[in-house]
Amino acid sequence: ETIINQIAAGEVIERPASVVKELVENSIDAGATRIEVVTAGGGKNLIRITDNGSGIRSDELALAVARHCTSKLTNDVHDIRALGFRGEALPSIGSVSRLSLKSRTSDADSGFEISTHGGRQDGPRPTPMNGGTIAEVRDLFFATPARLKFMKTDRAEASAISDVVKRIAIAFPHIRFSLAGSDRTPIELAATGAGSSGMLERISQVLGKEFPENAIAIDAERDGVRLTGFAGIPAFNRGNSLHQFAYVNGRPVRDKQIWGAIRGAYADVIARDRHPVVVLFLNLDPALVDVNVHPAKADVRFRDPGLVRGLIVGAIREALGQSGI
Ligand code: ADP
Ligand code: MG
């Protein structure tokens, strides 16, 4: 069982940022409106995610860290509203770290804590806390030294963690995110209002207000695929592609086809070694896209990749063209 979990962990948990992604997604699935991320040692020493979500009942805590136990399965694989559904993340994380899960539901008169260490479970036992969940991961990969060797510097791992949180945060502007710990100067993203003004405010919080000021709004549709967002003007370019954000049906994705389309759209107006800043939201019938190709890598498979590419390239070029660029 521990071995199986460690193999699964090899798939799901590549680096500290993958742990942060899984835990933050769990908090979002639990309906949290406040999510706090604290890390130390690039997340290798400590990752602590605190949320004010629904919590986990004491009798379900042991199940939550067991393999393939998910409370989120629906019958239709295309209709996955929850971010998680495999029930793999917590047991995988638990098999390669010291994991402690504390949780309190609104109807409980205390919180409960369960911890796992090298496949051994301890608890659940009562612990004082507010409503919600605190997931604490220490000594990530201590049991898999081979994996530990592949980690980058603390600084690089910490910045990958910030990147993951920012990517998720843009998709959920109504959630307050904070990012703290010895890895960085603290970042606070206040909850915004609803609608497109809230979305714009969150984008400014993450990318700075210079971005919307130097970007053109995109709103295009082709054969039922809608593309909205902002395309930075060519002069507002960057030395790396960390400033390209893409979402498919509200989920952050990193997809080669989308990056390729963005590159194509700007090919004539930006030098090859520079990268435009863009935030793009693709919305389409969930039956026409598979966002679950790989448990951790956020690439997607479109039923009609040519349509999506054409839409992105066309919409960005048109927007730039209308602004005389
Ligand atoms: P999945 O997200 O795929 O269901 P996980 O291993 O990530 O699997 O989590 C297992 C289960 O633990 C979830 O289905 C959920 O019921 C519970 N859980 C995990 N994290 C939280 C949280 N922050 N708040 C409430 N419930 C949680
Ligand atoms: Mg999950």
User: From the CA of 71, how far away is ligand 2's center (Å)?
Assistant: 10
Q: Above 50 in pLDDT, residue 8?
A: yes
Residue 59: enclosing H or E segment and its boundaries?
helix 58-64
Lowest mean pLDDT of 10-19, 187-196, 272-281, 307-316, name the range.
10-19
User: From the CA of 64, how far away is ligand 2's center (Å)?
Assistant: 10
User: From the CA of 30, how far away is ligand 2's center (Å)?
Assistant: 10
Residue identified by tokens 């948990």 is: 13
72 in ligand 1 pocket by Cβ < 6 Å?
Answer: yes
Q: Ligand 1 atom 8: the closest Cα is on which residue?
A: 87
212-246 residues labelled b (16+ CB within 10 A) or e (exposed): bebbbebebebeebebbbbbbbbebbeeeeebbbb
* Arithmetic mean of pLDDT over the chain: 90
Q: Ligand 1 atom 12: the closest Cα is on which residue?
A: 64
Question: From the alpha carbon of 73, which atom of ligand 1 is closest?
Answer: 4
71 in ligand 1 pocket by Cβ < 6 Å?
Answer: yes
State the pTM of this model.
0.92
The tokens for 126 are 């009562």
Confidence of residue 10 (pLDDT cuts 50, 70, 90): low
Confidence of residue 28 (pLDDT cuts 50, 70, 90): very high
Residue 155: predicted pLDDT: 95
Domains (range + CATH), the chain: 2-189 (3.30.565.10), 208-322 (3.30.230.10)
> Which residue would you say has higher pLDDT here, 195 or 99?
99
Cα–Cα distance measured from residue 235 to residue 213, given in angstroms and rounded to the nearest whole number:
12
Q: What is the pLDDT of residues 212-225, one digit of tens each?
A: 999 999 999 999 99
